[in-house]
Structure 1
Amino acid sequence: MTQILQIGSKVIQAHEVLSLLRRYQLMPQIVRNIILDQAIADISCTEEERRVAVEKFYQQHQLTSPQAQEAWLRTQGMSLEQMEDLAVRPVLLEKFKIATWESKVDAYFLNRKASLDRVVYSLIRNKDQGLTQEIYFRILEGEQCFADLAREYSQGAEASRGGLLGPVPLNQPHPTLSKLLSVSQPGQLWPPRALGEWFVIIRLEEFIPAKLDESMRRHLIDEQFENWLLLQIQQVSVSWSVLPSSSLLAS
């Protein structure tokens, strides 16, 4: 048998590697990283970018002395060049993301805007239709405030917050509620309506439109990247085979 790794007293033979990858669920991570390596294969960085990336890597891993760096390399089984390649990998990935998806952000934002807009709203839900109707008129006539009535009568987790929910993406609530909120003005109170086993009262408190600022742009680039990566992982084929010992010895 061919020994390829020893960890303490444990000797790992070549034929055991696939079993270990399965046992420790490492294949998805390996597939992901192979796809990324292929994606960034033709992307380069400057010497200054490489130097900064390595320095940042040292700081993140608290490798502040040559001794610490050497110890880390021994533990990881890496050469200095391999460690530097690992350190610069995020820089190459960032360049890949920008080159691939930055020009698509504006259109993607418009397509996603309905789910990026956020709302703050108040909700009361109760299984008693008559009581819910009475609560609605109390709020409408100003007899009691929404928050007090929510704390007393709402039968969901929102009761502890006086019925107040959000900010949340506009598409996060139940579709019926999302539709009402999308056509509401702040402060608009909707009459009770059936929603499954509940009767609900809803009021929009605040509408927070999504803005394509730098933070949102960064988020959407990352989102497009993750969507692409997930698709690549789903489409890739992984074949399992074990070479005979004689082939391993010959190699």
Structure 2
Amino acid sequence: MSNIAKIFIEPEEIVNFLKAKMSLRKIYEEILFQRIINSSAALKGVNVTIEEIEAEANRQRREKHLEKATDTLAWLSEQLVTPNDWENGIRNHLLAEKLAETLFSKDVETFFFQHRLEFEQVVLYEIIVADEKLAQELYYQIEEGEISFYDAAHRYHIDEQCRQKCGYEGEVYRWSMQPNIAAIIFSIPPQHLIGPIKTDKGYHLMIIEEMIPAELTVNRYQEILHQMFQQWLVSELEYLLYSS
């Protein structure tokens, strides 16, 4: 094991440390979530095979470039876990994934199409300034070609990190925007200057570089499935606490 494990720590010390870090409740919840997963999987006949555990272990080894068994053992030692601990963790992860599929795989597509608009995205650039007059001046300067949008963002955006990125906000979901702003943004073609729009952050000028239509990709399927599963776990935990 790692040298750090040679220094003994009392279990009570660990609990007290988690309490001081305000992290104990989260650990309690995770343990109770795992109990719920284990009991529900047993009721549904969901299980994880040795072959599935081995396949996931091999995937993790490849990801971490652990080519030899000794490399894997050294890595586990540094994490203060045994190979059996590692396999149990893999089992728990795979069991949760398989239970989520069993419970909600048929509902994901329905949910997606019912909420399709929310999954639309745009590639967004914006400038936020504190002063309305400056926002109007920048709008006209950009429209007249006196300054580019990206130069203006680099000079005037109130957030330093955004200035460094010339106002780049990335791929933004419709659901993450204020409804009134989303209604404007998704009604205007890309590359058109939008604004100024006032929010509690300041005055916004925006350009949409690209519209990204909603598609049920593999990643989005997993996002929706994970969200449904987490909501189910929370509701099951609330029922468990209430019935206790």
Distance in structure 2 (CA, Å) of the matches to 1:117 and 1:41? 38
**For residue 209 of structure 1, what is the amino acid of its counterpart?**
P
**1:165 partnered with 2:166:** no
Encode CA deviations 1:64-114: one digit per residue, 9 max, x unaligned: 49xx7xxx9xx9899x8x997775444443332222111111111123433
The equivalent residue for 1:145 is 148
Letter in 1 for 2:239: Q
Percent identity over the alignment is 20
CA deviation vs aligned residue, 1:11-46 (integer Å, no higher than 9, x gap)? x8xxx9xx88x9582432321111111110132458
Task: Say whether the 8 Å CA contact 1:54–1:87 is kept in structure 2.
Answer: no
Question: More deviation in 106-115 or 52-61?
Answer: 52-61
Tell me, what secondary structure is at the counterpart of 2:128?
Answer: strand
Q: Distance in 1 between matches of 2:91 and 2:58?
A: 12
CA root-mean-square deviation: 3.9
Which ranges of structure 2 fall in alignment gaps of 5 or more residues?
A: 1-7
Could you tell me which residue of structure 2 aligns to residue 136 of structure 1? 139
- Within 2, Cα distance between the matches of 1:126 and 1:9? 52
1:102 to 102, 105, 129: 105
Pick closer, same or farther for the CA change 1:53–1:173 going to 2, 3 Å: same
The amino acid across from 2:218 in the alignment is E
Report the TM-score when normalising by structure 1: 0.68
Equivalent position SS for 2:35: helix
SS in 2 for 1:143: coil
Q: Which amino acid aligns with 2:193?
A: L
Contiguous gaps of at least 5 residues in structure 1: 1-7, 241-251
- Shift, 1:58, TM fit: 7.9
d(CA) in 1 for partners of 2:129 and 2:9?
Answer: 64
Measure, in 1, the Cα distance between the counterparts of 2:239 and 2:226: 20
What is aligned with 1:230? 234
Alignment partners' CA distance in 1, 2:55 and 2:227: 28
Aligned residues: 218
Higher helix share: 2
C-alpha contact 1:118 1:170 (8 A) present in aligned 2: yes
- Cα distance between partner residues in 2 of 1:117 and 1:212: 11
